[in-house]
Amino acid sequence: DTGVSQNPRHKITKRGQNVTFRCDPISEHNRLYWYRQTLGQGPEFLTYFQNEAQLEKSRLLSDRFSAERPKGSFSTLEIQRTEQGDSAMYLCASSLSGGADTQYFGPGTRLTVL
Amino acid sequence: KNEVEQSPQNLTAQEGEFITINCSYSVGISALHWLQQHPGGGIVSLFMLSSGKKKHGRLIATINIQEKHSSLHITASHPRDSAVYICAVCNMDSNYQLIWGAGTKLIIKP
């Protein structure tokens, strides 16, 4: 247990539905990252926050994806109108600042879109 | 060419063998991470390196910044070491995003 928690751990949904995932980082960590990992591939960067500010978004993050970190603590990742291609493991990580600081990963949320 | 290359992609060994996994990268970095992922499980960070060598239990990680190369070694390997080992680098030019290698799937047979 790294101290980063994610909920739910598993989500099965039908195509076209909206889903929301939550990440609770280590409390003193000010950076929070979202990654997506599809089967057999390494994780792909989606976005990150410095406190409550979303500083960077990957081109992978289409308009159907939105992430928030309203109070600089927990973060949510919402996917609207899910597609089968969204099926993946969604990973959250946090770090104390960035760069040379270790990122601590949560257990991930596995999304299956039917 | 991928910015982070790992080798081998797959490795099967007998319990007790000395294991080496290699990582080469082509970008400027501020740090390199070695991470472990068990099947169906989350990712655990093993080491973060910016120079030299680190040791934790049976795991040793080294980095050569000039050659842009890192290795992860496992001594006296055990079946519970079976996992995917991932090398990821902090890219200095991309706001410290992690760039990931494809991972090395390690199986240790008893």
Q: Which of A26-35, A51-60, A97-106, B41-50 has the lowest mean pLDDT?
A: A97-106
Of the partner residues B42, B45, B97, the one whose CB lies closest to the CB of residue A45? B97
- In chain A, which residue's Cα lies nearest the Cα of B101? A42
Neighboring chain A residues of B30 at a CB cutoff of 8 Å: 99-100
| Nearest by CB: A102 against B41, B42, B48 | B48
Separation in Å, CA of A66 to nearest CA in chain B:
19
Amino acid at residue number B69: H
- Chain B nearest CA to A102, separation (Å): 6
Tokens of B16: 């007790």
Put simply, the answer to whether B42 touches A107 (Cβ < 8 Å) is: yes
Q: Is B39 on the interface with A (CB under 8 A)?
A: no
Core vs surface per residue A39-73: b (16+ CB within 10 A) or e: eeebbbbbbbbbeeebebebeebeeebbbebeeee
Residue B69 scores a pLDDT above 70 = yes
CA distance A78 to B46: 30
What residue of A is the nearest CA neighbor of B32? A100
pLDDT tens digits for A21-74? Answer: 999 999 989 999 999 988 767 788 899 899 999 988 888 788 999 999 998 899
N-term to C-term CA, chain B: 36
pLDDT of residue B87: 94
Dihedrals φ, ψ of B87, to 5°?
A: -100, 130
B42 touches A at CB < 8 Å: yes
Instruction: Give the nearest chain B residue to A47 (CA atoms).
Output: B97
The pLDDT of residue B76 is 97
Task: Give residue B55's pLDDT.
Answer: 92
CA distances from A5 to A23, A93, B34 (A): 6, 9, 21
Cα B21 → chain centroid:
6
